[in-house]
């Protein structure tokens, strides 16, 4: 396999009484925290000196009190948590401002604003039972993404986010107008409104890498969409036309901004919280919906013009690709039922994606059908509530409150990818590089020190089934860690 980097307030849950009453435990945890940060610094500075500046940023972030603005959680980003608006919303004074969600300048009595923010994710990946076919252990900056946002008159805005790791390019660059809740407009390059986990901010991911359904869903695309909230704010919708990329394509490729496609995609999504306003609290967080896309993709046998995707594992290894000489040849249709539920510390995410695409090799043409699904469970042990966005600790760690515990979250996930058996029989897949089925199980623990700093540790084990008559590839066993800084 070949390594690849892919380029997309509810009622407080009280801290258990034993943590409130045992001051000695708080002092002990404070020493542990300080020693852990020192150990992490020593380890990472041995690996890469550039991380010294990143670790300095952690110290700066501890000075910032937690507020309520999530990086990448921009208007219409989808699947917003059912929360009460914070009383610490952006002030309307003219001048410079500094918050944990970015810094910038406001003018015209606060009606206009320019904001600079971003996030950094530093990862390590450790593969067990290393073989020539599996990945190599290494440290990487998984994401380095500064953000520029400009707002005019509290209605119009411009959002810009480049990609500064691996392949350089522009991920998001769009204009947006928020007229009224039921009708808003976005034009430019941004996440296509399809995959549930793809629409989730990278800063809020419970495990280091997204599940298999994102292999079959769109990522970033150039286009336009209308969106809004309807039915008394219980339902959100997005409808758009896009210059469709290949599945899971970020659209940066070999150029700064690019769309690897030759057709047009229609994409629509609707997601509802039908019980949002009822008095029974544990039912309010139930949400479900469906996404649909239809379009055309045409390619050729010329190198780089097949317009077909590859499929990757949680360890970011290529586990399947189409045969040389195969290319997109007509319609592509996707459908994706999805569900998200949260109540107090419990969060549940589920989605299923099925993709039909016409593919041709030589004189033969087939409609290839691939599908994938995932189910993810998370539980915030203490000091926070489950959320589609980043977990916000009720008692964040700051220099004014250094003895706080932050919030700790446990997560587990099962995900499965099934590639069309008929396509293997007809020679559309590269038999030497492709599995027929992949089953992944992952577990993880996340520590949110505050709104800005997060540490992750997770383990994924993925079993592969080869095509008929082929030997199965070795099971992928990988330990992830992550240090996330969002500002």
- Residue pLDDT, tens place only, 247-272: 998 877 544 455 455 678 999 999 99
Write down the pTM of the prediction. Answer: 0.81
Q: From the CB of residue 441, how many other CB atoms can be counted at a distance below 10 Å?
A: 15
- Look at residue 471 in the predicted model and tell me its pLDDT: 65
Q: What is the mean pLDDT of residues 24-33?
A: 44
Q: From the CB of residue 290, how many other CB atoms can be counted at a distance below 10 Å?
A: 15
- Look at residue 344 in the predicted model and tell me its pLDDT: 95
Domain boundaries, the chain: 2-486
Q: What is the mean pLDDT of residues 151-162?
A: 94
Is residue 257 a contact partner of residue 293, using CB atoms and an 8 Å limit? no
Higher-confidence residue: 342 or 79?
A: 342
83 pLDDT exceeds 50? no
Average of per-residue pLDDT values in the chain: 82
pLDDT digits 0-9 by tens, 283-295: 999 999 999 999 9
Higher-confidence residue: 365 or 371?
A: 371
Is residue 310 a contact partner of residue 321, using CB atoms and an 8 Å limit? yes
Structure tokens at 160: 């810009």
313 — pLDDT class (breaks 50, 70, 90): very high
59 — pLDDT class (breaks 50, 70, 90): very low
For residues 197 and 388, give the distance between their C-alpha atoms in angstroms, rounded to a whole number.
9
88 pLDDT exceeds 90? no
Taking the CA of residue 240 as centre, how many other CA atoms within 13 Å lie in the half-sphere pointing to its CB? 31
Report the candidate in 133, 148, 157, 134 with the shortest Cα–Cα distance to residue 71: 148
Q: Give ∠ CA 395-397-402 in degrees, rounded to 5.
A: 115
Q: Can you name the residues that pair with 317 across neighbouring β-strands?
A: 3
- Look at residue 5 in the predicted model and tell me its pLDDT: 46
Structure tokens at 377: 């469970």
Is residue 424 a contact partner of residue 171, using CB atoms and an 8 Å limit? no
Q: Per CATH, is 2-486 categorized as 2.40.160.10?
A: yes
Question: Which DSSP string corresponds to 392-405?
Answer: --SS--BTTBTT--
- Look at residue 469 in the predicted model and tell me its pLDDT: 58
């Amino acid at each position: 396999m070949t390594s690849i980097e892919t380029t997309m307030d509810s009622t407080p849950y009280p801290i258990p009484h034993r943590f409130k009453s045992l001051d000695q435990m708080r002092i002990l945890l404070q020493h542990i925290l300080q020693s852990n940060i020192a150990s992490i610094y020593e380890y990472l500075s041995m690996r890469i000196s550039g991380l010294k500046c990143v670790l300095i940023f952690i110290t700066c972030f501890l000075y910032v009190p937690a507020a309520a603005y999530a990086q990448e959680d921009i208007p219409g980003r989808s699947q917003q948590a059912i929360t009460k608006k914070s009383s610490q919303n952006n002030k309307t004074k003219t001048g410079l401002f500094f918050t944990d969600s970015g810094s910038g300048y406001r003018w015209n009595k606060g009606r206009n604003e320019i904001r600079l923010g971003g996030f950094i994710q530093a990862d390590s990946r450790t593969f067990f039972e290393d073989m020539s076919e599996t990945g190599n252990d290494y440290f990487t900056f998984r994401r380095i993404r500064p953000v520029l946002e400009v707002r005019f008159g509290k209605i119009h805005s411009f959002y810009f986010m480049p990609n500064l790791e691996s392949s350089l390019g522009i991920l998001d660059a769009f204009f947006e107008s928020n007229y009224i809740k039921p009708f808003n407009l976005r034009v430019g390059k941004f996440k296509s409104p399809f995959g549930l986990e793809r629409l989730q901010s990278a800063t809020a991911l419970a495990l280091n890498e997204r599940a298999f359904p994102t292999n079959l869903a769109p990522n970033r695309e150039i286009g336009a969409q209308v969106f809004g909230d309807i039915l008394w704010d219980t339902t959100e919708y997005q409808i758009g036309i896009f210059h469709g990329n290949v599945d899971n394509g970020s659209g940066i490729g070999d150029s700064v901004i690019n769309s690897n496609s030759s057709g047009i995609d229609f994409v629509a999504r609707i997601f509802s919280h039908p019980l949002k306003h009822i008095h029974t609290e544990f039912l309010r967080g139930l949400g479900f919906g469906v996404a649909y896309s239809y379009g055309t993709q045409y390619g050729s046998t010329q190198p780089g013009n097949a317009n077909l995707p590859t499929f990757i594992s949680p360890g970011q290894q290529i586990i399947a690709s189409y045969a040389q000489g195969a290319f997109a040849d007509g319609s592509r249709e996707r459908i994706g039922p999805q569900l998200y539920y949260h109540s107090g510390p419990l969060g549940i995410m589920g989605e299923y994606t099925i993709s039909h695409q016409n593919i041709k090799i030589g004189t033969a043409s087939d409609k290839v059908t691939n599908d994938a699904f995932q189910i993810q469970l998370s539980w915030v042990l203490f000091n926070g509530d489950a959320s589609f966005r980043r977990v916000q600790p009720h008692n964040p760690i700051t220099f004014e409150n250094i003895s706080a515990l932050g919030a700790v979250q446990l997560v587990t996930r099962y995900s499965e990818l099934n590639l069309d058996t008929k396509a293997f029989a007809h020679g559309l897949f590269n038999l030497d590089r492709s599995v027929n089925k992949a089953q992944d199980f992952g577990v993880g623990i996340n520590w949110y020190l505050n709104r800005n700093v997060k540490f992750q540790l997770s383990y994924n084990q993925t079993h592969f089934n080869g095509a008929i008559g082929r030997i199965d590839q070795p099971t992928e066993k990988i330990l992830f860690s992550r240090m996330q800084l969002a500002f």
